[in-house]
Structure 1
Amino acid sequence: MADTIVTFTSRSLEEILESGGSQEWVLNRKNARKANYLVCARNANGEAGHGPGPEAHKSGFLLGKISGLGPGDTKPGRYIILISEYAEIDEPDLWVFGRNPVHYTTLEELGIDPDAVDWQPVAGKPTRPQKVSANVFDTAKELIAKQLGIGVDAVEITIRT
């Protein structure tokens, strides 16, 4: 089972740490919620406006412990993969996963040993507490119940972080 999300990013290590994670990703939330680790690989040809890092194109440069998922900063429907700890890695030619900039795999398949790195705490924003009105849940439960043709009391909402 995949325990790792790999992102192909143009953001620098400093940008990722400052924001508390790697962001603006379209994710398969079911797979993403099961992941424990984030690996970032350098996209040296990526999005303009981001400070490119010194790493070689396609090389893995960051390993992070995932602490949760949150909404991205700029684009609706995109997410930030939050990390609580990180380690700098140097994995040449790690990105071999094609055009989609998000890939689900395992650290074992990547050849990365999480016990062999120097973990550091993320000093940026490792978590983003969400303030959600109870009314949002009531509305969501009503919509789900109506769509399924069941009573509102039969609907439960669980949030995993």
Structure 2
Amino acid sequence: MSNTRETILENLFGELNNHMFERRLSMVSVEFSERMTSSAGRYFPQRRLIRLSAPYLRLHGWDKCRNTLIHEMIHADLHVRGKPYGHTPEFKHWLKKLTGEKSIYHHDDMRPYDRPYRHVYTCPGGHKYYRKNRTRRKTSCGQCDKTYNPRYLLKYIGRENV
């Protein structure tokens, strides 16, 4: 399965690079990681590498993984063109144009498989968050407000068995 999965990823990357990025990302490589359990994907600019989460693929399938790949390819494209490649207004413009997504965050469940307990938080809006470790700093809900807002402070509920 691994070779097939990697081949599908490389083919998808090549297709997206040709159709959406005018072949600017031919020097960027892609791979899956079994160890990525807290994020769906990541771009490493020094290595020109996009790494996607294999657990995320298993949980959510190729459609969501495709959008994550496009998200990371936008970071890579901006980097290759010498532009700021964080979650800038230009990044958000391209994300919306290429995927239709307005948010830079994926709120899908990314529970790690190697931890028996998860720390659970909720916000006044009813959103649930699972964390590996219990946070000591005040944190607000990113779904209710993109910036820190004390009206949407996360409240610690407790541990949950997985």
TM band (smaller chain) = under 0.3
Q: Which has the higher strand share?
A: 1
Instruction: Give the TM-score of the pair, scaled to structure 2.
Output: 0.26
Q: Which has the higher helix share?
A: 2
Point out which structure has higher relative CO (alpha carbons under 8 A, 6+ apart). Answer: 1
Instruction: Give the TM-score of the pair, scaled to structure 1.
Output: 0.26
